[in-house]
Structure 1
Amino acid sequence: MEASARSARVRILDVASELFYQEGIRSVGIDTIIERSSVAKATFYYHFHSKDALIEAYLERRQIAFLAWFDAAVQPYAGAPQEQLLALFEALVEKVSVQGYRGCAFINASTEFPAVTHPGHLLPHSTKYEVRRRLLSICQQTSASQPAVLADQLLLLMEGVFASTPIFGSDGPVCSVKDAARLLIVAHCSTSG
């Protein structure tokens, strides 16, 4: 019974994740999620006491996956911070070039939920701050004289990729981001000292 309950929760979250990302969180109703998950309404509410609880679970799942993606991109180059940064942008281009890419789930959610106390805003906020912290940590290991400035500039490049790719596609401005990142890194690291 426990495995069945877990599978129902996972099924609900899987369906909600797909629908929330593709159609927008506010536009997807609980009844649609229940129907597509093939669960009873009582089962849904057993696992998620409200739509907000489901939104929180969806964004927590996205956060875990995104930070794992970040770690996987930079980990092979541990001890070589400039290479870590370049690898991150290489992975970023791949990430946004997949079929069905509809932008950053965190930007999308925070746009739908501007109230700073809502999970749809809080989790994107904490995720973006964590990415900024990780970028700064890597930049502090480079020879950059202003690692915080480099980290923020790289973060702006990342966010630009997330925002522009749904509009221009994977053959648009994203094609230039690796060169832009490289230029920033070289400029910051060659002027230090």
Structure 2
Amino acid sequence: MDRAGRQSRVAKLPPRERILDAAEELFSREGIKAVGVQAIADRAETTKMALYRHFATKDALVEEWLRIVAADYTAAFDRLAEAHPDEPREQILGMARFIADGLPEISHRGCPFINSIAELPDRGHPARRLIEAHKAGQLRRLTDLCARAGLPGPDEAAAEITFILEGAQVSAQNGCVEHAGERLMRIVRALLDRRPAPSAAL
């Protein structure tokens, strides 16, 4: 979206949403540490005082931004569950496709989770805990899908798929692998085919 288009859209948002929109843009583009509260307030066309009325600290703003990012991932996986309620394999492939489709953006801006963890070494930081809880929940969900798909060793299968998804995002971010999305889908399909359901092996 061009600058004029963004300004028109953002101007219609309530103050809290304008602040979050500005934080998302600046944190994604420049990083958490490099962006100050004044820069966010300026981008949101508000004041630091107004920002602090909505978010007591910068850390609270970072946490809420990442909560929204995590909710977007969860919502995407929820849509797959609704579309394929009795097809766990299709849900797994859909999760992989969702990640693959997002790789071009990651190649330009980086994964918000990976970037944020690199800037938040304190594992007690609330935003860091949020990321870890989100990733753990995603792994549990994937493990359940692997079990429902009848894959032998669902814990191990889910771990392998997670390595693939996470690795593809890092590879897209550093640009070391070409056609990362296509490779991601091929590897996940091969993994699922290599781990047939017990009944299929009889």
Task: Identify whether the pair has TM-score above 0.5, normalized to the shorter chain.
Answer: yes
Selected match of 2:20 from 13, 17, 27? 13
User: Residue 147 of structure 1 corresponds to which residue in structure 2?
Assistant: 154
User: Residue 41 of structure 1 corresponds to which residue in structure 2?
Assistant: 48
For residues 124 and 162 of structure 1, what CA distance do their matches in structure 2 show? 15
**Number of residue pairs matched?**
189
Summarize deviations over 1:76-127 as a string: whole Å, max 9, x none.
2221111211122122211222487422211211111011110231111111
Q: Kindly indicate whether residue 179 of structure 2 is the aligned counterpart of residue 172 of structure 1.
A: yes
User: Residue 77 of structure 1 corresponds to which residue in structure 2?
Assistant: 84
Output aligned runs, 1:1-193, within 5 Å: 7-98=14-105, 101-168=108-175, 171-190=178-197
Contact 1:15 1:36 in 2 (8 A): yes
For residues 146 and 36 of structure 1, what CA distance do their matches in structure 2 show? 49
SS at match of 1:189: coil
For residues 21 and 29 of structure 2, what CA distance do their matches in structure 1 show? 12
Residues 125 and 141 of structure 1, relative CA distance in 2, 3 Å threshold: same
- Counterpart residue identity of residue 110, structure 2: G
SS at match of 1:38: coil
Residues 70 and 102 of structure 1, relative CA distance in 2, 3 Å threshold: farther
Residues 113 and 7 of structure 1, relative CA distance in 2, 3 Å threshold: same
- Counterpart residue identity of residue 61, structure 1: I
For residues 32 and 18 of structure 2, what CA distance do their matches in structure 1 show? 17
For residues 129 and 197 of structure 2, what CA distance do their matches in structure 1 show? 37
Summarize deviations over 1:128-176 as a string: whole Å, max 9, x none.
1111011011011012111111000001111011111122289433321
- Counterpart residue identity of residue 154, structure 2: P
After superposing on structure 2, the runs of 4+ consecutive aligned residues of structure 1 that deviate more than 6 Å are none
Moved more, 18-27 or 64-73: 64-73
For residues 104 and 171 of structure 1, what CA distance do their matches in structure 2 show? 17
CA-CA distance at 1:28 after TM superposition = 0.5
Residues 19 and 33 of structure 1, relative CA distance in 2, 3 Å threshold: same
SS at match of 2:32: coil
SS at match of 2:109: coil
